C-alpha cells in the first residue's frame, strides 16, 4: 500500500484486515480514486503463501475531509460507510462517501432486523425454476430460489437480502430452512406423480453453511425426515466456497458424495475458475454463468469459453447446465455444442409452488 501511495501520504493498519491511508493535499477526489485503483491492481496479482497460490482483494472507502468535519473519528466513520458500500456492491471496488449512504446503512440495518423476524415468523417462500434436458426436451428438475414475503414490502428478491444474511451469519439458519423445504417439496412431488420419480432438486448452499460444523448432521436429518433420496438432491456451491476451503471441507465434500448427493459449481466462469478445482473436489456438474450464455452470440470470446467449458466437462465426465437461456438462437447454439441441460426464461421463470406442480403434471 505504501508503494501505491505517495511519499507524503501516511499508511496505517487500524487492526485486523483494516488499513487506512491519509492522503495529504489532494486537489480533487480523482487522485484518491487513482490511488485506490492502483491498490486494487497491485492486489489483483496472485501471490504465493506457503506453497499455495492465494488471491486477495480490497474494498476501499474514500472520504474527502473538508471543513464540515470536527474530528478524525467522524472522518473514519464516513470512510467506513463508503467502504461497506463498496463491499456490498461486490468484491474489489472503491466508493467515495456520499451523505446518502447514511440512508442506505439505515436500510441495511432494517433488513437485518426484519430478517430475524422473518425466520421466526415463517416469511420465506421458495420458487422453483425448471431445469430442462436439452437432449430429450423434458423436465430434469428444479432449482429452488428463495423469496421473502415481507409484511410491508411485499415479495423481496434475494439480491436485496442474501448479502445481509451472509454478513450477519443469518444465512446459516435461512439456508437450513431452504434445504428442508426444498427436499420436502420434491419428496411430495415424487410421491404424488409417478413421472416425477427422477426429478432433481437443486439447492443453493452458501459458503458459511458448508463451513458450519453441523452441516452434515443437518443434511442427514433433512434426508431422514423428508424421505428424499440423496440421488434427487443437488447442492449448488460457488467457486468462492472452493477457493477459501478449509482442509475439513474436503471431508465434507466426500461425505456429501457418500450420500449420493451431487455437487454443482454455480456461476462457473465468474470467479477465479481454476481447473484444479475440478480435479481436487468431487464435482459432478458445472453451471455456466448466464453472462457467458448471454454474450455468446455477439462476442466470439464468450462463445469460445462456453465451447471450451462444454468440451472440457465431457472429458472430465462432468455434466453441464447452461444458465440464463433467453432465446431460441442461444438454445440452438447450445444444442449444437452438445450441452446437456439448460435453465432460463426461455423455458420458464422461477415458478410458485402451484405453477411448478402444474408443470410436473403436464
Cell of 359: 408443470
* Maximal CA-CA distance, the chain: 74
- Contacting residues for 219 by C-beta, under 8 A, at least 6 apart: 179, 256, 259, 261
Among 157, 193, 251, 272, binds ligand C2E (CB under 6 A): 157
Q: How far apart are CA 189 and CA 174, in angstroms?
A: 23
- Contacting residues for 43 by C-beta, under 8 A, at least 6 apart: 56, 57, 58, 92
- Please state the closest distance from residue 269 (CB atom) to Ca ion, in A: 10
Cβ(284)–Cβ(242) under 8 Å?
A: no
| Contact window for ligand C2E (CB under 6 A) among 8-16, 92-100, 155-163, 276-284 | 155-163
| Contact window for ligand C2E (CB under 6 A) among 98-106, 184-192, 309-317, 319-327 | 319-327
Among 236, 239, 319, 357, binds Ca ion (CB under 5 A): 236
Nearer to ligand C2E, 229 or 270 (CB): 270
Q: Give the long-range contacts of residues 9-14, CB within 8 A, separation 24 or more.
A: 9/35
- 345 lines the binding site for ligand C2E (CB under 6 A): yes
- 266 lines the binding site for Ca ion (CB under 5 A): yes
Q: How far apart are CA 93 and CA 99, in angstroms?
A: 19
- Please state the closest distance from residue 220 (CB atom) to ligand C2E, in A: 19
- Please state the closest distance from residue 79 (CB atom) to ligand C2E, in A: 29
The residues pairing with 146 across neighbouring beta strands, listed in sequence order, are: 126
- Using alpha carbons only, how large is the chain's radius of gyration in Å? 23
Cell of 52: 499455495
Cβ(61)–Cβ(97) under 8 Å?
A: yes
Window 205 to 224, contacts with ligand C2E (CB under 6 A): 206
- 162 lines the binding site for ligand C2E (CB under 6 A): yes
* Total of residues contacting Ca ion (CB under 5 A): 5
> Among candidates 273, 263, 289, 280, which has minimal Cα distance to 239?
273
- 352 lines the binding site for ligand C2E (CB under 6 A): no
| Contact window for Ca ion (CB under 5 A) among 51-59, 190-198, 264-272, 295-303 | 264-272
| Contact window for ligand C2E (CB under 6 A) among 29-37, 134-142, 242-250, 341-349 | 341-349
Query: Pick from Ca ion, ligand C2E, none: which does 158 bind, CB < 5 to 8 A by kind?
Result: ligand C2E
Nearer to ligand C2E, 145 or 360 (CB): 145
Phi, psi for residue 49 in degrees, rounded to 5: -130, 115
- Please state the closest distance from residue 181 (CB atom) to ligand C2E, in A: 9
- 266 lines the binding site for ligand C2E (CB under 6 A): yes
| Contact window for Ca ion (CB under 5 A) among 1-9, 189-197, 244-252, 262-270 | 262-270
- 267 lines the binding site for Ca ion (CB under 5 A): yes
Mark residues 276-315: x for contact with ligand C2E by CB under 6 A, - for none: --------------x-------------------------
- 132 lines the binding site for ligand C2E (CB under 6 A): no
The residues pairing with 141 across neighbouring beta strands, listed in sequence order, are: 131, 200
- Please state the closest distance from residue 202 (CB atom) to ligand C2E, in A: 9
Q: How far apart are CA 249 and CA 211, in angstroms?
A: 7
Q: How far apart are CA 61 and CA 97, in angstroms?
A: 7
| Contact window for Ca ion (CB under 5 A) among 25-33, 50-58, 202-210, 225-233 | 202-210
Q: How far apart are CA 61 and CA 236, in angstroms?
A: 32
- For the chain, the straight-line distance linking the first and the last C-alpha, in angstroms and rounded, comes to 60
Question: How far are the Cα atoms of 138, 199, 210, 226 from residue 218, in angstroms, in the given order?
Answer: 32, 22, 11, 12
Residues in contact with ligand C2E by the rule CB under 6 A: 129, 145-146, 157-159, 162, 171, 175, 178, 204, 206, 266-267, 290, 324-326, 343-345, 350
Amino acid at each position: 500500500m505504501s508503494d501505491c501511495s505517495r511519499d507524503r501520504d501516511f499508511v496505517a493498519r487500524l487492526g485486523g484486515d483494516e488499513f487506512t491511508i491519509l492522503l495529504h493535499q489532494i486537489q480533487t477526489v480523482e487522485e484518491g480514486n487513482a490511488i485506490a485503483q492502483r491498490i486494487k491492481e497491485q492486489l489483483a496479482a496472485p501471490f504465493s503463501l506457503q506453497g499455495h497460490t492465494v488471491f486477495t482483494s480490497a474494498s476501499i472507502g474514500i472520504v474527502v475531509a473538508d471543513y464540515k468535519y470536527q474530528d478524525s473519528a467522524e472522518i473514519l466513520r464516513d470512510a467506513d460507510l463508503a467502504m461497506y458500500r463498496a463491499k456490498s456492491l461486490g468484491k474489489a471496488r472503491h466508493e467515495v462517501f456520499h451523505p446518502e449512504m447514511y440512508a442506505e446503512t439505515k436500510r441495511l440495518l432494517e433488513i437485518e432486523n426484519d430478517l430475524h423476524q422473518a425466520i421466526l415468523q415463517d416469511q420465506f417462500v421458495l420458487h422453483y425454476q425448471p431445469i430442462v434436458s436439452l437432449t430429450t426436451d423434458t423436465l430434469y428438475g428444479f432449482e429452488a430460489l428463495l423469496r421473502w414475503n415481507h409484511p410491508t414490502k411485499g415479495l423481496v428478491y434475494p439480491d436485496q437480502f442474501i448479502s445481509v444474511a451472509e454478513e450477519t451469519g443469518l444465512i446459516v439458519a435461512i439456508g437450513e430452512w431452504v434445504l428442508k423445504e426444498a427436499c420436502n417439496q420434491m419428496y411430495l412431488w415424487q410421491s404424488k406423480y409417478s413421472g416425477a420419480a427422477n426429478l432433481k432438486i437443486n439447492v443453493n448452499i452458501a459458503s458459511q453453511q458448508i463451513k458450519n460444523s453441523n452441516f452434515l448432521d443437518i443434511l442427514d436429518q433433512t434426508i431422514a425426515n423428508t424421505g428424499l433420496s440423496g440421488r434427487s438432491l443437488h447442492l449448488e456451491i460457488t467457486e468462492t466456497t472452493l477457493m477459501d476451503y478449509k482442509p475439513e471441507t474436503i471431508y465434507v465434500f466426500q461425505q456429501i458424495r457418500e450420500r449420493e448427493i451431487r455437487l454443482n459449481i454455480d456461476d462457473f466462469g465468474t470467479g477465479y475458475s481454476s481447473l484444479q478445482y475440478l480435479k481436487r473436489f468431487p464435482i459432478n456438474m458445472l453451471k455456466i454463468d448466464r453472462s457467458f450464455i448471454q454474450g455468446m452470440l455477439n462476442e466470439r470470446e464468450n462463445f469460445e469459453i462456453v465451447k471450451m467449458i462444454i468440451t472440457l466437462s465431457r472429458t472430465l465426465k462432468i455434466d453441464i447446465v447452461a444458465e440464463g437461456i433467453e432465446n431460441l438462437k442461444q438454445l440452438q447454439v447450445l444444442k449444437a455444442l452438445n450441452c446437456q441441460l439448460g435453465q432460463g426464461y426461455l423455458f420458464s421463470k422461477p415458478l410458485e409452488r402451484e405453477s411448478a406442480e402444474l408443470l410436473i403434471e403436464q
